[in-house]
Amino acid sequence: MESVLLRARGVPNSRSIDTYLAAGGWSGFAKALSMTPDAVVQETIESELRGRGGAGFPTGRKWSFVPKDHPGPRYLICNADESEPGTFKDREIIEHDPHMVLEGIAIASYAIRSNTAYIYIRGEFVRWAALLEDAIGEAHRQGWLGRNVKGSGYDLDIWVHRGAGAYICGEETALIESIEGKRGFPRLKPPFPAVVGVFGKPTVVNNVETLACLPHILTKGAKWFASIGRPKNTGTKLYCVSGHVKRPGVYELPMGVTFREIIEGPCGGIREGHTLKAFFPGGSSAPVMRASEVDVRADFDACAEAGTMLGSGGVIVLDDSVDMVETAANLAHFYAHESCGQCTPCREGSDWARDILDRIVAGHGRPADPETLLRICRFASQGMTICPLGDAFSLPISSIVKKFPEEFERHIRAASTVPQKKLPVLPWAGSRPGFGS
Amino acid sequence: MSTKPILSVPTEQLENTTFDATMEERILELLKRYPTTRATLIPVLWLCQERYGWLAPGVIRAVADRLGESPAYVEGVATFYTMFYTKPPAKFVLQACETLSCAVCGGKELLHHLESRLGIKPGEKTPDGVFQLVGVQCLGACGTAPVVQINDDYYENLTIERLDAVLDDLKGRS
């Protein structure tokens, strides 16, 4: 298959605007400018492009929720806060082809009639934020950004806005709060950002990879895009594979290949002397899959049917050397650290889950622990919290408890009982290593 | 890669921070990007951290004054985000990723090695103020695990030997 999103990988000087223009770059935006914004929305709807950030919501439909008669400004935000464990695709696009991201932003901004766009990039990506700044400078100098783009009468500014270390800011309403100069606390929905977003104005938040598809949809047409992949799961997808494969990395494949094809194909299979035990299909927030489920198709609908999700396409592969209880404990640490603290079920639940899992790993598991973990997960998910972080920690942990009960039993059977000296108290955060403490 | 050391200005010198013309110019440039003053808070905190190495109480007060916020509000935002230093950091902050992909690909061993080589635990600094060890959550470079971020730079596909060579080099230059 011909590379679309990763076509610049390996091309010398791929980041410069001249290389990009020579490959037909910025012509998608030029084409968009010759169309009405509504026609761009329609073309995107027909391509059946779905959001690559994790939710898989149809991009064109998301844009269509922006009120057309709104008098004031509207905003487009590019979500480059790539923080989902196992996900490293957006960095790859920015590294090799920053102009493709900018062109996608320009097309989306035009479609929703926005004159200002922000790229919210995770704070750690200092180098990649600088690459985007450089590309923005080039695009300005060549008249693809700024006032009256290429004589069309359309104005567009793109600003890079660096985050500062918070997983939660990848959630679109937390991201919006963060741009506004606040703590990254997610907002209750509705109202949805398309109606009340950043600075109280209609706002669309799209992922880097989603936006990077747009120049190709505009130049090659919605039909071409929809012909790749499977019905309702169209286009190519960047699968980021990490963990115990021979060749981890980012691979671009048509949507709907199976996880087996990804793992045994470009990744070269599981490392020597080991066999596949489990994998997370779409970042660590997706329910875990057993080795026997490796023939599931890696698209939004097939993953949902299999009881998991494609999420961001971050495939974390674990071989038979891995202890699944330790895996659950590792992830519980992540979510307990990243819970923003707004909602009790998530803030307390993630801390309790972490402490219980740590205790089991330390050899002090109790027979009732798996049931307690499931109960914590039940109370923190299914709409009990403002944002999906509650589900994000509940789904992987509860799925590990359900799919690998024998590993919990083994730990708990071997556990030594410790006499309870004191009543359990709320988890104490003071000992957690971190910045500023 | 030559990672630049963080030079933290001592607390006392930042007691009565005022912004000079260069800083003021950059703040004015930021204010043009957003419709509200408050939206410049995180970018201004970044400016300050680049300039002073960390966000001392005096810096927090200066930012609050300049942007018309209370110091409590500014501190509340600054402490929400893990990358803002509200204590002076060491010259080189070693941020070792502890999340799943790194953990199963040698990250755990790397962190243990750093602990024993430097004689410190995560969250601590070496007595000479050169290194600080922090266990961090996913850095978004899982395909090149294990990863350690040192100040602004990513060090990927690390082995204990390669990391040792990096630390020797940084130590030599500090």
CATH number of the domain enclosing B38: 1.10.10.1590
Q: Give the whole-angstrom CA distance, residue A330 versus residue A125.
A: 23
The verdict on residue B5 lying in a domain is no
Same domain, B15 and B67: yes
Averaged pLDDT score across all residues of chain B: 97
Report which of A179, A224, A173 is spatially closest to residue A385, judged by C-alpha positions: A173
Tell me which H or E stretch contains A398: helix A389-403
pLDDT value at position B2?
Answer: 86
Residue A422 pLDDT > 70: no
Same domain, B98 and B167: yes
Residue A271 pLDDT > 50: yes
Q: Are A361 and A408 in contact (CB under 8 A)?
A: no
CA torsion through residues A315, A432, B146, A245, sign: negative
Report which of A175, A68, A144 is spatially closest to residue A112, judged by C-alpha positions: A68
The verdict on residue B71 lying in a domain is yes
Chain B residue at shortest CA distance from A162: B43
Same domain, B65 and B109: no
Q: Which residues contact residue A309 at a Cβ distance below 8 angstroms, ignoring those fewer than 6 apart? A: A54, A56, A281, A282, A285, A286, A287, A300, A303
> Which of A123, A331, A434 comes nearest B100 by C-beta?
A331
Report which of A412, A374, A372 is spatially closest to residue A393, judged by C-alpha positions: A374
B140 touches chain A (CB under 8 A): yes
- Residue A417: pLDDT band with limits 50, 70, 90: low
Residue A272 pLDDT > 80: yes
H helices of chain B, in order, are 21-31, 41-52, 57-67, 71-80, 100-102, 108-118, 160-173
Same domain, B66 and B125: no
Would you tell me how many other CB atoms lie within 10 Å of the CB of residue A355? 17
- Could you give the angle at which helices A389-403 and A324-338 cross, rounded to 10 degrees? 170
Q: Are A36 and A111 in contact (CB under 8 A)?
A: no
**Partners of A271 in the β-ladder:** none
pLDDT value at position A2?
Answer: 85
pLDDT value at position B108?
Answer: 96
Chain B residue at shortest CA distance from A126: B152
Among B86, B121, B142, B147, the strongest candidate for a mutation testing the A interface, having the largest count of A CBs within 10 A, is B142
The verdict on residue B1 lying in a domain is no
Task: Give B116's Cβ-side CA count (13 Å radius).
Answer: 6
Proportion of chain A above pLDDT 70, given as a percent: 95
Same domain, B169 and B96: yes
Proportion of chain B above pLDDT 70, given as a percent: 100
CB pairs under 8 A between A and B: 161
The verdict on residue B127 lying in a domain is yes
List the CATH number of the domain containing B145: 3.40.30.10
- Residue A412: pLDDT band with limits 50, 70, 90: very high
Q: Give me the phi and psi of B72, to 5 degrees please.
A: -65, -40
Same domain, B60 and B110: no
Q: Give the whole-angstrom CA distance, residue A2 versus residue A299.
A: 19
Q: Are A9 and A3 in contact (CB under 8 A)?
A: yes
**Count of structural domains, chain B:** 2
pLDDT digits (tens, 9 = 90+) for A12-52: 999 999 999 999 999 999 999 999 999 999 999 999 999 99
Sheet order of strands, A249-254 included: A249-254, A236-243, A314-319, A276-280, A289-290
Q: Which residues contact residue A305 at a Cβ distance below 8 angstroms, ignoring those fewer than 6 apart? A: none
pLDDT value at position A427?
Answer: 53
pLDDT digits (tens, 9 = 90+) for B57-88: 999 999 999 999 999 999 999 999 999 999 99
Contact B123 A182 (CB under 8 A): no
Same domain, B98 and B165: yes
For β-strands A75-80 and A229-230, DSSP reports them as unpaired
A-chain residues within 8 Å CB-CB of B142? 85-88, 240, 242-243, 248, 314, 316
Residue A435 pLDDT > 50: no
The verdict on residue B85 lying in a domain is no
Q: Give the whole-angstrom CA distance, residue A331 versus residue A85.
A: 9
Output the six-digit token pair for A193.
Answer: 């950002």
A238 touches chain B (CB under 8 A): no
pLDDT digits (tens, 9 = 90+) for B121-138: 999 999 999 999 999 999
Name all domains of chain A by residue range, CATH numbers in brackets: 17-227 (3.40.50.11540), 232-319 (3.10.20.600), 324-417 (1.20.1440.230)
Residue A432 zone, left/alpha/beta (φ > 0; ψ -120 to 50; rest): beta
Q: Give the whole-angstrom CA distance, residue B87 versus residue A8.
A: 42
pLDDT value at position A437?
Answer: 37
Chain B stretch 17-36, residues whose beta carbon is closer than 8 A to a beta carbon of chain A: 33-36
What interface predicted TM-score (ipTM) does this complex get? Answer: 0.97
Same domain, B47 and B112: no
Residue A419 pLDDT > 60: no
CA angle A350, A299, A3 (to 5 degrees): 115
The verdict on residue B49 lying in a domain is yes
Chain B residue at shortest CA distance from A267: B143
Domain final residue, candidates B35, B56, B80: B80
A-chain residues within 8 Å CB-CB of B137? 85, 167, 333-334, 337-338
Averaged pLDDT score across all residues of chain A: 94
Residue B35's domain comprises 11-80
Using the structure block, give the residue that is written with the tokens 């199976």.
A258
Domain final residue, candidates B31, B49, B80: B80
Chain B stretch 73-112, residues whose beta carbon is closer than 8 A to a beta carbon of chain A: 76-77, 79-87, 98-101, 103-105
Domain final residue, candidates B32, B60, B80: B80
- Residue A436: pLDDT band with limits 50, 70, 90: very low
Same domain, B97 and B163: yes
Chain A stretch 122-141, residues whose beta carbon is closer than 8 A to a beta carbon of chain B: 122-127
Average pLDDT estimate for A402-424: 81
Q: Give the whole-angstrom CA distance, residue A173 versus residue A346.
A: 17
Same domain, B99 and B169: yes
- Residue B96: pLDDT band with limits 50, 70, 90: very high
Residue B25 zone, left/alpha/beta (φ > 0; ψ -120 to 50; rest): alpha
Q: Give the whole-angstrom CA distance, residue A432 versus residue A429.
A: 6
The verdict on residue B3 lying in a domain is no
